[in-house]
Amino acid sequence: MQSPKRKFANNMISYLVFLSLFAYVLLFDLTSNVSTKEFVLLAWVLTILVEEIRQMHQIYHMPGYEKASSCVQRIRKLKNYISKDWNSIDVFTIVMFLLGFGLRFKQSRDTFDWPRVVLAVNFVAFVFRLVHLFSVEKTIGSKIIIILRMVNDLLYVLVIMAVFLLAYAIASHSILYPGATLTWETARQIIRKPYFHLYGELFLDETEGTYKFK
């Protein structure tokens, strides 16, 4: 029987191999024809799905489980399973991969980019699951907890900053472009320029009135 450390190491190596294969398919093998490597990825994701289903069925019984019907028990287990953040991420990654893989069979010349975009975002989500695997390590795990708590505090700062950013966006656009037409493009430009101001892109040609429109 394998020790917990050996099981964790095997799981980590297997997951890194999966990510490497996924990255290779995204970068070099995602053509109009579905390749064998993509079916290997599908089989791999289905094994992850089976493991998640097993975890859901192994959720400890809550009070009242024995008296509830089997249908109610399944609903309670599902709610308890989804309530955990990492389980929600796992469900999202699996569903998104199946969606992206399914779009591969519905693609045309005009819609070929959709499966690529979905699978690319899905790859990011799968890589993010590494954080959960790293959290069991004594040194890295404590740092991850600190970072996650800092992110929660940062969200409040971003909300406050968004208030001032929106005020500046509307005020500056009304001065630079009086009498603008109400369109989606105008709404996008109102937010776009102040957002890029945060990164040092000041659009001085337009602000100083030296930009020559074609």
Mean pLDDT of the region 153-159: 91
Residue 110, classed as helix, strand or coil, is coil
Task: Judge if 70 and 95 occupy the same domain.
Answer: yes
Is-above-0.75 flag for pTM?
no
Q: Are residues 129 and 68 in the same domain?
A: yes
199 and 161 belong to one structural domain: yes
Q: What is the structure's pLDDT at 25?
A: 93
Considering the domain boundaries, does residue 84 fall inside one?
Answer: yes
Determine the average pLDDT of the residues in 55-60.
71
Q: What integer best gives the mean pLDDT of the chain?
A: 84
Same domain, 92 and 19: yes
Instruction: Tell me: do 104 and 171 sit in the same domain.
Output: no
> Is there a domain that residue 119 lies in?
yes
> Do 53 and 19 fall into the same domain?
yes
pLDDT of 60 > 70? The answer is no
Residue 93 pLDDT greater than 80, yes or no: yes
Cα–Cα distance measured from residue 119 to residue 49, given in angstroms and rounded to the nearest whole number: 17
Among 60-64, 89-93, 165-169, 184-188, the range scoring the smallest mean pLDDT is 60-64
The answer to whether residues 122 and 185 belong to one domain is no
Domain span at residue 33 reads 4-136
Angle 169-174-175 from CA coordinates, rounded to 5° = 105
Q: What is the pLDDT of residues 117-153, one digit of tens each?
A: 999 999 999 999 888 888 877 788 888 888 888 988 8
Q: Where are the alpha helices (DSSP H) in 58-104?
A: 70-82, 85-103
Q: Is 209 helix (H, G, I), strand (E, B) or coil?
A: coil
Count structural domains, the chain.
Answer: 2
Higher pLDDT: 195 or 205? It is: 195
Regarding predicted confidence, which is higher, 185 or 86? Answer: 185
Decide which of 136, 167, 198 is a domain's last residue: 136
Could you report the per-residue pLDDT of 11-20, keeping only the tens digit for each?
A: 889 999 999 9
> CA 126 → CA 11, 88, 113, 191, distances in Å?
14, 12, 20, 31
User: In the predicted model, is pLDDT for residue 68 greater than 60?
Assistant: no
Same domain? For 94 and 44 the reply is yes
pLDDT value of residue 14: 92
